[in-house]
Chain A
């Protein structure tokens, strides 16, 4: 059964604050194999004009994917997460995430389409500091693969 179109436009409550730590940034940078010292050495980050170590561009996914679980695991929407694959991902940055940021995320359902037996769900996640400064916006498209013919 196709997903309920009435979810388009629905926003979910802001997530609990996420505190960005230097060691989490380092762990993520190690996991993607990115050796840039800007993620690890505050002096290097400061020389680039940042106040503390910065996070890799895709670090935001930690927060945005967690926030989008409100959508993907909303029983009322009923997505079968075992059939979800990632279709598309975009980030628009105001500034890099950096250590010591306290961030929250608002997730919103942007579009629901049905194409060739698959459901395609596009959602946005606005990441801002807890005091309301915008940091990065993500746009994620997930494909819920239909049953095999």
Chain B
């Protein structure tokens, strides 16, 4: 487990690349209860002006959060987690879309035993999230 005393501002987290494919979205729809057809029906998605089916923003957010919780080892120690969805994650049939995740320690707060991490999520070198940030409680 990462401890507060072991980290410093600017430190980079271990990068991860995590795949999303059509099957992930069907599975996520079932698990989350979000059955919006823009996430699983190409016909529907294009009929409402989208280029193709797009991944649930919340699936991208969940995947992005793992960069931090895999690193800290305690996914229950999250205090705040927020993202802006800036570009749809398009998932072509039969292909995996790779979410490339990097992260950097933005701030460390000794008083509240917490640290804030800036997360960068990219698909094909383009960012898909903005202001993606997670604050976690860490042991001193």
Which residue numbers of A lie inside 8 Å of B, CB to CB? 27-28, 30-34, 36, 38-39, 45, 48-50, 54, 56-58, 61-62, 65-66, 81-93, 95-96, 98, 139, 145, 148
Q: Which residues of A contact B61 (CB under 8 A)?
A: 58, 89
B residues near A34, Cβ cutoff 8 Å: 62, 66, 69, 75
Across the interface, B78 reaches (CB within 8 A) one of A49, A65, A86, A96, namely A96
Q: A57-B65, A57-B69 are in contact. Are A91 and B75 (CB under 8 A)?
A: no
Does B4 interact with chain A (Cβ within 8 Å)? no
CB–CB B32/A61 < 8 A: yes
Report B-chain residues with C-beta under 8 Å of the C-beta of A58.
Answer: 58, 61-62, 65, 81
Number of A-B residue pairs having CB atoms within 8 Å of each other in the complex: 118
- Interface set, chain B 44-59, CB cutoff 8 A to A: 44, 48-49, 54, 56-59
B48, B79, B82: which contacts A88 (Cβ < 8 A)? B82
Contact among B63, B74, B82 with A38 in the assembled complex (CB-CB below 8 Å):
B74
B residues at A contact (CB < 8 Å): 18, 24, 27-28, 30-34, 36, 38, 44, 48-49, 54, 56-59, 61-63, 65-66, 69-70, 74-76, 78-85, 88, 134
Contacts of A57 in B (CB 8 A): 62, 65, 69, 75, 78, 81, 134
Contacts of A92 in B (CB 8 A): 79-80
> Known: A57-B69, A58-B61, A86-B85. Contact between A65 and B34, CB under 8 A?
yes
In the bound complex, residues from chain A placing their C-beta under 8 Å from that of B54 are 85
Closest residue on chain A to residue B63 by CB atoms: A32
Contact indicator B85/A30 (Cβ below 8 Å):
no
Rounded to whole angstroms, the CA-CA distance of A13 and B78 in the bound complex is 28
23 residue pairs A–B, Cβ–Cβ below 8 Å: A28-B31, A28-B32, A30-B27, A34-B75, A48-B74, A50-B76, A57-B81, A58-B65, A61-B32, A62-B33, A65-B32, A65-B58, A84-B36, A86-B85, A88-B85, A89-B58, A89-B83, A91-B80, A91-B81, A93-B78, A96-B76, A98-B76, A145-B48
